[in-house]
Amino acid sequence: MIPACVQSDDGVADRRRSARAAVGEGSWFTLPSAWTVQLLDVSLSGLAFVSPLRFETGRIASVRATLGGEAFTARIRVCWSAASGAPVHVTKSFTVGAAFLPLEDGSRRALHTFLKVSPPNENQHAKHGR
């Protein structure tokens, strides 16, 4: 049964049946959401990607990808995020670097297999003068 709506003092419909308390600054709430990002590179310890949204340093997120045909899922911790000029179909984008949190066995195997058969990122070699 859906509770009947009651008009509150500010004119907004209110369907609450019990008292509510204000939430302070130390509280947080997360809604699961997903959007497509452009994966730039991946290593055993983390990855870099371009996103239409800025990520706060320290933020924990979940990623899903296919690496060489194998499913890969991981939780990551954002290390840095910067405005980007990378080609993405949005007006503003951010390049994000993140470290993997402990990987499950299947994802660890998919990552190791992918890194063994994939050529190294030529841009990384150029940056380090190799």
State what percent of residues in the chain have pLDDT above 70.
68
**pLDDT-derived band at 118, boundaries 50, 70, 90:** low
Mean pLDDT of the chain: 78
Distance CA 51, CA 78 (A): 12
Helix (H) or strand (E) holding 84: strand 70-84
**pLDDT-derived band at 130, boundaries 50, 70, 90:** very low
Superfamily of structural domain 36-127? predicted glycosyltransferase like domains (2.40.10.220)
Segments making up each domain of the chain, as ranges: 36-127
Q: Which residue has the higher pLDDT, 23 or 112?
A: 112
98, 79 Cβ separation under 8 angstroms: yes
111 is written with which tokens? Answer: 């990552």
